[in-house]
Amino acid sequence: MEAASVAEEFAALYGREPEGVWQAPGRINLIGEHTDYNDGFVLPVALPHAARVAVARRDDGLVRVHSSQGDGAVVEFTVDSLAPRSVAGWAAYPAGALWVLREDGHPVPGIDLHLDSDVPFGAGLSSSAALQCAVLLALDELLGLGIERPRLARLAQRAENDYVGAPVGVMDQTASLCCTEGAALFLDTRDMAQRQVPLDLAAAGLVLLVVDTRVEHGHADGAYRRRREGCERSADLLGVKALRDVEAAGGRELDVLLARLPEEELRRLTRHVVTENARVREAVGLLDAGELRSLGPVLTAGHASQRDDFAISCPQSDAAVDTALAAGALGARQTGGGFGGCVIVLTEPAQVPGITAAVTAAYAAQDGWNAPAFFTATPAPGARRLR
């Protein structure tokens, strides 16, 4: 799917040339899960998989959007009619991009838009942020707004929260907009401070194998909301602004602190967030020191924490992790919001055939499990204009 073919499809649909083509990638998160809405740390990597949009402005306030992965229909609405959730389905993402820019004080025109994406939906690779960010970057450039990327990521998050209605944090959008090729993005979601941390897997003789469990997660569902609310309540009870602020505590110190929370569920949620923030910083330290193999146990510990404390894993993800480790992987964890999606596996290339065979067999042995899919992840560039 090249920029030229997205532009050609645009021309065939709308009978004119697009003003440009932009792309924004999906991501995996190395470590730092459910920390982003707790003002914490994350360490995502952009994927070669991306959403590409061809866009041209209109002068009549009409918006027409089409997706190659949609039902074939061109969805139409007007800029004037935009209000939270006024457009449903996938078109809510481009509608949300227009809405949030208008809310931010910019006059927005109508547009024609054609989308083509190879980020799988609902697989925890953030197809929604890829789409949202591709449209926002296109509008930012077409309208000459010059919005800094971290702020554009905040606007993308606001569109997903307030327009689409999904209570997501800011990691996915920042990864899509700010990641660079060959690096992981160390992001402090409190102040958006960020640093590119070189991640040369090949030089370390390693690969990141991604296992798509083929279990579709759902972000806007009650489970995500419940955890988010539990984290906020815990922070209140502990007298801090966000759970990120209990970062200093560890070991016994952490136990003493957790004992102040009145419910086991809150203690578990808090323990995950606090230890996960520590794991992100540990992982960054290992990458900086070039000790990539030592990242394995950190990933695996992160999985145990999200399985046992945050309770966002599922049998398919646990099976992929356990099977990969038994087949010689250095470390493995479910990545993304949880309840399925993808598992990342850090391993030597020589182990990949054995791991994929073992995971495939483990899934086949279970009734009703979809066959898993696999690819290897190489850190790709963030969002950019293609033409």
Stretch that binds Mg ion, among 126-134, 139-147, 209-217, 312-320 (CB under 5 A): 126-134
DSSP state of 316: H
Q: Which residue is nearest to ligand ADP (CB)?
A: 90
Rule CB under 6 A: say whether 29 interacts with ligand ADP.
Answer: no
For residue 298, what are the β-bridge partners? none
Among 94, 110, 124, 169, binds ligand ADP (CB under 6 A): 124
Instruction: Pick the binder of ligand ADP from 128, 234, 277, 316 (CB under 6 A).
Output: 128
Q: Kindly state the smallest distance separating residue 163's Cβ from ligand ADP, in Å.
A: 13
**Cα–Cα distance measured from residue 288 to residue 286, given in angstroms and rounded to the nearest whole number:** 5
Give min distance, CB of 54 to ligand ADP, in A.
13
Type of residue numbered 190: R
Q: Is 265 annotated as a binding residue?
A: no
Active site residue 172: yes
Quick count: other Cβ atoms within 10 Å of Cβ 373? 15
Active-site residue among 39, 116, 140, 172? 172
Cα(314)–Cα(58) distance, integer angstroms:
46
Regarding 270 and contact with ligand ADP (CB under 6 A), the answer is no
Residue closest to Mg ion when measured from CB atoms: 128
The verdict on whether residue 127 carries a ligand-binding annotation is yes
Stretch that binds Mg ion, among 45-53, 95-103, 123-131, 201-209 (CB under 5 A): 123-131
In degrees to the nearest 10, what's the CA dihedral of 198, 51, 14, 104? -80
Q: Report the distance separating Cα 60 and Cα 81, nearest Å.
A: 13
Q: Which of 127, 176, 189, 234 binds ligand ADP (CB under 6 A)?
A: 127
The one-letter amino acid at 327:
A
Q: Does 128 bind Mg ion (CB under 5 A)?
A: yes
Select the span of 80-88, 116-124, 199-207, 325-333 touching ligand ADP (CB under 6 A): 116-124
Q: Closest Cα to residue 346, out of 43, 24, 34, 40?
A: 43
How far apart CA 118 and CA 107 sit, in angstroms, is: 31
Give yes or no for a contact between 190 and 198, defined as CB atoms under 8 angstroms apart. no
Instruction: Give contact residues for Mg ion (rule: CB under 5 A).
Output: 128
**Active site members:** 172
